[in-house]
Structures are given as C-alpha cells and as structure tokens.
Amino acid sequence: MDYFYDPANWVAIATVLFVGVVVYLKVPAMVGEALDKRAKEIADELEAARRLRDEAQALLASYQRRTANAEKEVEEIVEQARAEAARHSRDMQAALAAQAERRSKMVEEKIAQAETQAIQEVRAAAVDAAVSAARTLISSQLNSEKERELIEQSISDVRGKLH
C-alpha cells in the first residue's frame, strides 16, 4: 500500500486520467479544428491584405497617371495662355500702329489746313495792302481834272459795251 502514498504515483495516475479524458473528449481534434480555423482566418486576412495592397497600388497608379495628365494639362494651358498673350500683344501693337498713323494723318491734315488758311490770310492782307497802296497812290497823283477824264472815259466804255 505504500504505492498509494507515493506522490509520484498519484501524479502518474492523474496524468493518465487527464490524458484519457482529453482523448475521450476529443480535445486534440478540437484544438486542431481551432488551429485550422485560426489558420484559415489568418489566410483570409492575408488575402484581404493582398487585395487591399493591389487596390492601393492600382489607386496609386491611377493618381500618378492623373498627376501626369494634370501636369500635361497645366503645360498645355500655360502654352495656350502664352500664345494668347502673344496674339493679344500683336493685336495691340497693330492697333497702336494704326492709331498712330491715323493721328499722324490728322496732324498732317491740320497742318495743311493751317497752311491754306495762312496763305489765304497772307493773300487777303496783300490784297488789302495793295488796295490801300493803290488808293493812297491814286489819291496822291489824281487831281480833279484827271478824275473827270477818267469818269468820262469810263462812262463811254460802259456805253460802248452796253450797246
């Protein structure tokens, strides 16, 4: 009976009973199933992570393409703006040149008008001076006898021309 008093024997008996109960209750199968289930969950999570990584890479590539396209569009817009600015500059230069030419013609016309008016004023002044000089000259050289002769000659000339 010393056999029952030895603690090592009780540990052996408890271990055998524990292993028997574990085998009887199919604990290794349950542990295997739990491990298989956990392995499947991990595999599913890994597959989901791969899909998410692939989607992220596709999204990144899409954004990179969009960025490249946006840069191209920006360059095109800048080129169009430069071309438009150059065209506006040419148009403005042509308009300014045309305006300068019109103003130049207007100034030339005003100068020509001023010249014509000055010539007319000089002629009028010359005529007035000539008339005044002739009047002075005639009045100084003309006496009453010569006046009568001139009047009579003028009257006879008029009569001859009227008949």
Give residue 148's pLDDT.
80
Confidence bin at 77 (pLDDT 50/70/90): very high
pLDDT average, residue stretch 40-55: 96
pLDDT average, residue stretch 93-101: 92
In single-letter form, the type of residue at position 32 comes to: G
Higher pLDDT, 128 or 161: 128
Q: Is the pLDDT of residue 1 over 60?
A: no
Percent share of the chain, pLDDT over 90: 51
Q: Is the pLDDT of residue 136 over 90?
A: no
Please say whether the beta carbons of 20 and 26 come within 8 A: no
- How far is residue 69 from each of residues 17, 29, 62, 133, measured CA to CA in Å? 74, 59, 10, 94
Q: Round the average pLDDT of the chain to a whole number and report it.
A: 89
Give residue 14's pLDDT.
93
Element (H, E) at 92: helix 27-141
In this prediction the pTM is 0.39
Give residue 108's pLDDT.
92
25 secondary structure, DSSP code: T
